[in-house]
Structure formats: C-alpha cells, structure tokens
Amino acid sequence: MRILKNAAAAAVIAAATLTTGASANVIVDLDKQGSSTFGSPAWKKNVTITTDGQSKRVAAGLFRLTDGVDQVLAFCIEPETFLNLGEDFDTTDTSGDWSDSWGEIVSLFETSYEFVVDARTAAGFQVALWEIVVEDDNNYDLSAGDFSVSAGSGVLNAANQFLAMIGQQGTGAYNFTTFANSGQDLITAETPIPAAALLFAPALGALAMRKRKTA
C-alpha cells in the first residue's frame, strides 16, 4: 500500500473519498525487497498445514514486499495457493469477499496485529488468518477440521491467543487493501490517517511556514 507523503495531495484524496465513498482499483507490480519474500528481518516459521486431507510444509509469516516505491507488509489469505510475483496484482476493496469470514479477519487485525513483533508472532498471526478463512463456522481448532497445522508450540500458542481475542474490544483500527492475481491473494493493514487531519494538514503547514518567516 502506498503511503501518502504529500499533505496537500492527501487532503484532496481524503476529500474525494469522503465525497464519493469509493476507491478505484489500481494495478500494482509487487516484488521482493531482497532475496526472499520475507525480507529482513525474516519473520517466518516453517509449519505443516493440512487442507482437504493434503499436507504440505510451508513458511508462515509476514511478507516484506515493495511496489517499487514503498514497503508493502502483507499476509497471505489463501493457504492452498502459491505466491506469484511474476504477475501484476489488482488492489481492490474486498470487504465483500470472503463474506463468511470478513468480520473475523477485521477483528483479528484490530485485536492482534499490534502484537506481531517477531517471527513467532508473525507465523502465529498467519496461521490464525488461514484458520479463519478456511474454517468459516467460527469453530476454531488448529488440530482438526478443514484446516489444521503442525508447528512449534510458540507458533501455536500465539495463533490460539490471537484466535481467542476475536470479537473482543479492538486495540486499533486499520485500512485494508488486498492484492489479487491468479496466485495467492494478499492483505495489508495500515493505520488510517484521520480525515480531518488530512484536510487541515496544508493549512497547518502554511501556518508553520509563516511562523518561520516571521521568526
């Protein structure tokens, strides 16, 4: 997700968003920041996941990607699909997608995302996200069901703690963006800049400039 750097431009965008209530799809080319999709530091752990009776060893954690300008921190939405960086991504407002689990996905981020601070918690968060997407009945059990996982106790403990907090009072609010192509879909969450702050930013900047000139 591109971070807004120009206050005046941000104010215009905020005003347009408040007026239209809509956002346009954008085609984005995502790439690795270095030799690995997990970047550095690599917040990932190897886990074994089972879906539809098929087991495979995968790396679970936080992707550190780039859109050519800014860093993109993302998690995988679909455990059965591989990441395809050779194809452009379509960024969309997908609050209507995964309709059976979108509320739980939002709650997971709002209650637990700030606790992702290392490889163990990043892997636990990813595992919890997969559990939510696959098990859409809110009956979460990482050892059984349509999705199960075998991992170190630290990863499982983190995932279970994150799942247990779903539905509780959130610790933060986020703007979500998904990146979709024929491969793995990704999701990012960014703390929103209050619209009022965006609208008043140019005026505050001009006031600061006047103060410097008169000082």
For residue 80, what pLDDT band results from cuts at 50, 70 and 90?
A: confident
Summarize the confidence of residues 134-158 as an average pLDDT: 93
Predicted confidence at residue 93, as pLDDT, reads: 54
How confident is the model over 161-198, as pLDDT tens digits?
999 999 998 877 899 998 988 888 999 999 875 544 44
* Torsion angle, alpha carbons of 74, 76, 81, 84, to 10: 0
Give the torsion through C-alpha atoms of 137, 142, 143, 146, to 10 deg. Answer: 40
Whole-angstrom Cα distance, residue 46 to residue 214?
A: 59
> What does the chain come to in residues?
215
pTM of the model: 0.78
Give the tokens for residue 97: 């997608």
Alpha helices (H) in the chain, listed in sequence order: 7-20, 102-112, 119-134, 153-164, 195-214
**DSSP string for 124-169:** HHHHHHHHHHH-TTS---TTSSSEEEE--HHHHHHHHHHHHTTTS-
